[in-house]
Amino acid sequence: MTFHLIDRVAVEEEGDGPVVVCVHGLGGSSNTYTPLMPALARHRVVRVDLPGSGRSQSVEGALSIERYVETLLGICDRLGITRAHWVGHSMGTIVCQHIAAAHPKLVASVALFGPLIAPPDAARTAMHARAAKAREGAAGMQEITQTLLQAAISADTRQRLPVVVAFVRESLMRQEGDAYARSCEALAGAQAAAVEQIEAPVLLVTGDEDGVAPPQAVRAMADRLHRAASKRVVVLPKCGHWTPVERPDECQRELREFLATHDRVQRIQ
């Protein structure tokens, strides 16, 4: 594995083959994709800690989806990436959609876990309230974490898989309050990408207990992908919003098959 620090943004790169760029969600980091790495064994995998998250929390200034897109495009340029499969989770799926819609030549395919086009108004209000709570410091982050452990993970996961609960808890508690608050504000201000313009193949994976990306909303999202080369919706049973962590075996299977299909298409082309 090679570690890069590009404009204070932490980037991990490992493996050889077609490029896969992984974009995490709110409260996540590059570690969100550690459970999926076996499915990416034949790829050059680039995992980024977005500005304000993980090891990139020292990045200053306001955060936004547009800034995340600009950061990722800059990283691709620095690493010589001209085409990649894009994998996103939660907020990261919005980032991937913007890149796929605006930079189609850079996108071989898009695999989105817990996908949403943009937050509804009620969620935007909640994000601003969460940002204020995060700025209270460690006590505020503790309260946020406890709330999300109940809301973002399925009951089955909480009961059967305490290591997943520990992973999500640690991911959230490692976030510094102000950096997490700015990330919340980035999500609160997120605007929808022109998803109707996405031409790449798209995989959409959600959980049947995902309150952020409920199945009906994900199916409605798929209906808007008019120009996508292909699209597939997968709903995982007894699963909440942290799909790659809660159901890694199922997510690995879907991702492995999806990438294998579109790697072959690229070689034929």
pLDDT tens figures, 70-84:
999 999 999 999 999
**Distance from C-alpha of 160 to C-alpha of 146, rounded to nearest angstrom:** 18
Written out in words, the top-level CATH class of the domain with range 2-118+193-268 is alpha beta
CA distance 71 to 148: 27
Residue 141: how many other CB atoms lie within 10 Å: 22
Alpha-carbon distance 104 to 118, whole Å? Answer: 20
Per-residue pLDDT of 184-243, as tens digits, reads 999 999 999 999 999 999 999 999 999 999 999 999 999 999 999 999 999 999 999 999
The pLDDT of residue 67 is 98
The per-residue pLDDT for 263 is 81
Tell me: pLDDT of 267 over 90. Answer: no
Q: Where are the domains of the chain?
A: 2-118+193-268
Has residue 269 got a pLDDT over 50?
Answer: no
From the number of C-beta atoms within 10 Å of its C-beta (0-12, 13-18, 19+), residue 48 rates as buried
- Could you tell me the pTM of the whole model? 0.95
> According to the model, what pLDDT value does residue 61 have?
94
